[in-house]
Structure 1
Amino acid sequence: MQELQPGAAAALRAEEEEDGGAGVEVAAHPPARRGQRPGRLRPLLALRLPRLPAARREARSCRGCCCSRGKAWRRNHTAVAGFRKLLEDCCDPGQLFVMTKLNSPMGKNLWFDGEFLYSFTIDNTTYSLFPQATPFQLPLKKCSVVGNGGILKKSGCGKQIDQADFVMRMLYTSDSGRRVRRGNSFGWLLQIHVYCGGSVQMDALRCNLPPLSSEYSKDVGTKTQLVTANPSIIQKRFQNLLWSRKAFVDSVKVYNHSYIYMPAFSMKTGTGPSLRVYYTLEDFGAKQAVLFANPNFLRDIGKFWKSKGIHAKRLSTGLFLVSAALGLCEEVTIYGFWPFSVDLHGKFISHHYYDNVLPDSGFHAMPEEFLQLWFLHKSGVLRMQLEQCEDPLVPSSA
């Protein structure tokens, strides 16, 4: 995790004010920079953004990403449509985001996207667990994708998040055995496990079963249409649902009538826990329903971002989810995505909004992912909320 120097934070704010924060159109493939090897096509939007050794250089590289309460930011409808077309051509989120009876017929052979040597054949039992078609009324209108970053703490963004038509969140993944950041030690703010997910009509998206108690609702809201759950969390926190079934059902009640999005067919070890989640919720008559991530979609999204310059063992859950939202929603705003140990005002913040436990390092390319998201924000494709949100109850001055 990199530290953003207080001085760099101030520079970010000053540069944004100077720049105006307006969205800009970006050519599909900008001209090559001096010294670039001939014949090598630079990735769209990323412009081959490098891994930067110092956080100050990182901050300067993403100048303009931080707008004061989003007042200067403008949505670029042309850029939004163009990026959605790219996603449709490569990955077709509207049809492939979840496994359905239409895209995964009985007898079809699919490869696990996380284990290239293993495949599975959809049998009658598995086929019966899929919805007939994608259960969202597409396109979704306004969507919120909610990460777990500490920048959400005391943000007052809960009401703004809940005003969306579709809210996606990521499963709460804290593990007491992991290291905790203290002071200004290094670390990335957002723990995003491998599948944190999504956005239906003016709702919000949240990542990996995050806590939504009254203690946090003012900052992160309570509305949820889709929440991602990594099978490893089911194994660790709920003993694979072999004898903690009621505890699991009680823990997801806070998400009301929402979908739990699980990568059942990414790794062989994740299939059993994911299917047990489905059967557990069904047995208890829970309000939540399970949707299974389509391994073809996850594989295609990974290839898409790799072609844009992100090199990692695997994309983060957050980037998977934001990608899906951009393909499913007309307007996307993301919260809790901020990879520094201080906020824009130089104040140290916790790793998550609910704790200060750091994730395992080296699996995801978080600097590269953040800079990609920043450029999408700068281009007007999505809005990245980094400052405190305005309280809608406070009347604006005339």
Structure 2
Amino acid sequence: MLTRISAQPHDFYPGSLRNEQRRAESGPSRGPRHLHHAAVDHRTPIIYTIIPVDALRFATYSPDHDNIRPTLQLRTGNDKAPKMVRIAKALGLVILSVVVLILSLISYVSLRKDSLFSSNKYYPGGPRIMFHAGFRSQFAMNFLDPSFIPLTNALNEELQGKPYKWKFNRTAFHQQRKEIFSYINIPNNFSLIKNSVRVGQLMHFDYSSHKYVFSISNNFKSLLPDTSPILNKHYSTCAVVGNSGILTGSHCGPEIDHADFVFRCNFAPTEVYSKDVGKKTNLTTFNPSILERYYNNLLTIQDRNNFFLNLKKLEGAILWIPAFFLHTSATVTRTLVDFFVEHKGQLKVELAWPGNIMHDVNKYWKTKNLSPKRLSTGILMYTLASAMCDEIHLYGFWPFGWDPNTGKELPYHYYDKKGTKFTTKWQETHQLPSEFKLLYKLHREGVTKLSLTHCT
């Protein structure tokens, strides 16, 4: 109950101020002890508080020597109840009030955002689905950021097939490439090469304390390329494929495979999902933690065989291994190095081991107001592609838990097991909605093409 209490003396209890003064002169009140005292000053005309109806049993003034200080006294339970129990009740009321306020705010924002998908052709319940899926998804959608509203309106028009049609802006693309190159020379920093390191050299990690180091071994150096794998390489059109669940049922496989060069992220599987994500892979990233997560650190013969067979499918592709991002990758990297040395000559995968490149990459994106704890692999691949490609198309870049075309719930990755719920663990390190917002802005400017609808 939302109760409005006027801070006028005669409003608190039947009787005038003069009667209260008489009570004060006659001695202290013999009424029951009270849980909560909310001081009311004459300069504070109105107090709003949320209390149960039966809690407002009486209100009176308490004398304070010669001065009468108006005090609102609320009775919330049995006089004989322990003090801690009554305090707990009061705290419970406060917490309940805050929860109700938050729920009301989320519900209101959800309803307001329904206009994002107002067409009959497209499902209008995306925001509601996110509301039921969990509050974190709601906030991940950046619903409370007013600057996102014009962007979603433009996105809504595009999803509905309104007059807007994407057109490549070659001038704007070359301008961005020039800006990126002013911060980092991508071909020269794409990978360490044999001549750039020495055995025993200590490497540091981009996202870890400077105290952590990795010593370059003979085996590690033997796996480095002689020259940068992308030096003097140039491609007309490139597809950068993220791993979002939006690719499920997209039928974008043939369109992706049609690109001259295909970037993929984190060794994502393609075989079972080729209809939606394509088969072609020219480069895939491989975070060393993948070895831990999916291949049990190669501890069994079966794990090693599975890893070997999956690498065989990448014949001719570049395996881009960011071993120097986090110190937690050090042990796994050594396991990976031993495996590649053991199978040298048996795999036709071109290895690339980037050094400490993230400082410069982060500096560039910071100029675009993007400064997360760590950039996502997807936007990092877009950065690399800008050095090799004349035109870039993005697929699977949608960090939200529902499909903008159908309104159905989506998994975080297209390859997640059926029934897997959308996760927002990435919020600890990434700013995926902010990245999406920036990429969609580039899409509208014709710098890159961002595919969100199903491919024909």
Q: Identify whether the pair has TM-score above 0.5, normalized to the shorter chain.
A: yes
1:206 and 2:264 matched: yes
Identify the structure with bigger relative contact order (alpha carbons < 8 Å, sequence gap 6+): 1
- Larger helix fraction of residues: 2
Structure 2 equivalent of residue 241 of structure 1: 298
Code of the residue aligned with 1:72 in structure 2: it is: K
CA distance in 2, matches of 1:231, 1:359: 22
CA distance in 2, matches of 1:107, 1:283: 21
Any conservation in 1 of the 2:204–2:213 contact (CA below 8 Å)?
yes
Code of the residue aligned with 1:238 in structure 2: it is: Y
Q: Note the residue ranges of structure 2 that are not aligned, 5 or more in a row.
A: 1-108, 123-139
Structure 2 equivalent of residue 45 of structure 1: none
State which drifts further: 65-74 or 285-294: 65-74
CA distance in 2, matches of 1:299, 1:383: 27
1:350 and 2:410 matched: yes
1:118-137 equivalences in 2 (<5 Å): 118-120=212-214, 122=216, 124-136=218-230, 137=232
Structure 2 equivalent of residue 8 of structure 1: 116
Q: 1:338/1:107 Cα in 2 relative to 1: closer, same or farther (>3 Å)?
A: same
CA distance in 1, matches of 2:340, 2:222: 15
CA distance in 1, matches of 2:268, 2:115: 32
Any conservation in 2 of the 1:224–1:256 contact (CA below 8 Å)?
no
Deviations 1:218-256 (A, max 9, x none): 110000011112222212322222333222112333333
Q: 1:131/1:387 Cα in 2 relative to 1: closer, same or farther (>3 Å)?
A: same
Q: 1:120/1:254 Cα in 2 relative to 1: closer, same or farther (>3 Å)?
A: closer
Any conservation in 1 of the 2:269–2:415 contact (CA below 8 Å)?
yes
1:294 and 2:387 matched: no
Q: How many positions carry a matched residue from both structures? A: 314
Code of the residue aligned with 2:116 in structure 1: it is: A
CA distance in 1, matches of 2:424, 2:381: 18
Alpha-carbon deviation of 1:114? 1.4
Alpha-carbon deviation of 1:262? 1.2
Deviations 1:61-83 (A, max 9, x none): 34434746898111111111111
CA distance in 2, matches of 1:254, 1:97: 23
Deviations 1:116-140 (A, max 9, x none): 3134564544332211111134223
Structure 2 equivalent of residue 228 of structure 1: 285
Secondary structure class of the residue paired with 1:330 = strand
State which drifts further: 75-84 or 110-119: 110-119
Any conservation in 2 of the 1:259–1:289 contact (CA below 8 Å)?
yes
Structure 1 equivalent of residue 87 of structure 2: none
1:106-117 equivalences in 2 (<5 Å): 110-117=203-210
CA distance in 1, matches of 2:347, 2:424: 31
Any conservation in 2 of the 1:95–1:103 contact (CA below 8 Å)?
no
CA distance in 2, matches of 1:238, 1:363: 24
Q: 1:354/1:9 Cα in 2 relative to 1: closer, same or farther (>3 Å)?
A: farther
Secondary structure class of the residue paired with 2:208 = coil
Any conservation in 2 of the 1:249–1:281 contact (CA below 8 Å)?
no
Any conservation in 2 of the 1:62–1:374 contact (CA below 8 Å)?
no
Alpha-carbon deviation of 1:94? 1.5
Q: 1:250/1:124 Cα in 2 relative to 1: closer, same or farther (>3 Å)?
A: closer
Q: 1:8/1:289 Cα in 2 relative to 1: closer, same or farther (>3 Å)?
A: same
Any conservation in 2 of the 1:157–1:220 contact (CA below 8 Å)?
yes
Secondary structure class of the residue paired with 1:85 = helix
Q: 1:156/1:108 Cα in 2 relative to 1: closer, same or farther (>3 Å)?
A: same
Secondary structure class of the residue paired with 1:64 = helix
CA distance in 2, matches of 1:327, 1:65: 28
Secondary structure class of the residue paired with 1:277 = helix
1:268 and 2:327 matched: yes
Deviations 1:6-28 (A, max 9, x none): 541347x99xxxxxxxxxxxxxx
Q: 1:278/1:128 Cα in 2 relative to 1: closer, same or farther (>3 Å)?
A: same
- The structure whose Rg is larger is 2
1:154-173 equivalences in 2 (<5 Å): 154-166=249-261
1:13-162 equivalences in 2 (<5 Å): 52-54=142-144, 58-65=148-155, 67=158, 72-104=165-197, 110-117=203-210, 118-120=212-214, 122=216, 124-136=218-230, 137-162=232-257
Any conservation in 2 of the 1:261–1:290 contact (CA below 8 Å)?
yes
Any conservation in 2 of the 1:9–1:346 contact (CA below 8 Å)?
no
CA distance in 1, matches of 2:338, 2:351: 9
Code of the residue aligned with 2:448 in structure 1: it is: L
Secondary structure class of the residue paired with 1:154 = coil
State which drifts further: 205-214 or 219-228: 205-214
Alpha-carbon deviation of 1:343? 2.8
State which drifts further: 273-282 or 85-94: 273-282
Any conservation in 1 of the 2:219–2:341 contact (CA below 8 Å)?
no
RMSD of the alignment, in Å?
3.1
Any conservation in 1 of the 2:362–2:371 contact (CA below 8 Å)?
no
Alpha-carbon deviation of 1:53? 4.1
